[in-house]
């Protein structure tokens, strides 16, 4: 069963507008972490923002904020005042514990965001 | 801070040869590093978790003898693709865990092409 779902394969947004990228997750673990990464065409994965399952407030980091709705199991990324440089692939990921005592990230399928000038 | 390097960035090799990819955490120590594989326009697929000083933990379906992982120090993990074949051609990306939330910081990736 897919644990991280990103339902928007692609989005086109006008420059300077705000954009919301959807992410829903599924876990029975009470302790988990949610991450958003950006992957430009160059390939590197850039960490954007983190939300812990016990965090009471939504995470914010500059123009990025995370709309965390725990009961709905959603962790949407909001980018305010979008810029051309925001065009990239965006991945939502969840950190879980494994049977071996490790932790691992499970990634969604990603959303390709294109900012239109 | 939290910079991870990966070398080489691109490699082309003949079928049957072995290729080693290095992953280094440059400004922090990482007891745990991860190796992923990414196919074009797809998500990242975890191959293995590498813990310093111990054997790597491989994900189901990943051949241990084909993808050799060594994590000899707190700043270096290596992935060796042994007897590479064209189907091993892919984008390989490593990450190192660090920071206050156990965040994974990623290297720039290695594009492997096996002829």
d(CA A21, CA A77): 5
Res B111 pLDDT > 60: yes
Question: Considering only CB atoms, which residues of chain B are within 8 Å of chain A?
Answer: 2, 32, 34, 42-44, 46, 49, 51, 57, 91, 93, 95, 97, 101-109, 111
CB–CB of B106 and A109 under 8 A? no
For A8-33, how does the pLDDT look when each residue is reduced to its tens digit (9 = 90+)? 999 999 999 999 999 999 998 888 99
Name the closest residue on chain A to residue B48, using Cα atoms.
A104
For A47-90, how does the pLDDT look when each residue is reduced to its tens digit (9 = 90+)? 999 999 999 999 999 999 999 999 999 999 999 999 999 999 99
Handedness of CA A9, A61, A48, A40 (dihedral sign): positive
Comparing A100-114, B58-72, B78-92, the range with the smallest average pLDDT is A100-114
Q: Which residues of B touch A88 (CB under 8 A)?
A: none
d(CA A72, CA A5): 13
Greater confidence, A26 or A97? Answer: A26
CB pairs under 8 A between A and B: 55
Res A100 pLDDT > 90: no
């Amino acid at each position: 069963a897919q644990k991280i779902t990103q339902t928007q394969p692609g989005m086109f947004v006008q420059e300077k507008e705000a954009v919301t990228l959807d992410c829903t997750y599924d876990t029975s673990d009470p302790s988990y972490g949610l991450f958003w990464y950006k992957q430009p065409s160059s390939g590197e994965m850039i960490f954007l923002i983190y939300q812990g399952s016990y965090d009471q407030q939504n995470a914010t980091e500059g123009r990025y904020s995370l709309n965390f709705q725990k009961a709905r199991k959603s962790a949407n990324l909001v980018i305010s005042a979008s810029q051309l440089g925001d065009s990239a692939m965006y991945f939502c990921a969840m950190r879980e514990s494994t049977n071996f005592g490790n932790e691992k990230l499970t990634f969604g399928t990603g959303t390709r965001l294109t900012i239109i000038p | 801070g939290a910079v991870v390097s990966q070398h080489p960035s691109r490699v082309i090799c003949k079928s049957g040869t072995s290729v080693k990819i290095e992953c280094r955490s440059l400004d922090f120590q990482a007891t745990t590093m991860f190796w992923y594989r990414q196919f074009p326009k797809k998500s990242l697929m975890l191959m293995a978790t590498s813990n310093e000083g111990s054997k790597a933990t491989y994900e189901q379906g990943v051949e241990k003898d084909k993808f050799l992982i060594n994590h000899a120090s707190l700043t270096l993990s290596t992935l060796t693709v042994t007897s590479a074949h064209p189907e091993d051609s892919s984008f390989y990306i490593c990450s190192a865990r660090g920071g206050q939330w156990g965040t994974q910081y990623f290297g720039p990736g290695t594009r492997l092409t096996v002829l």
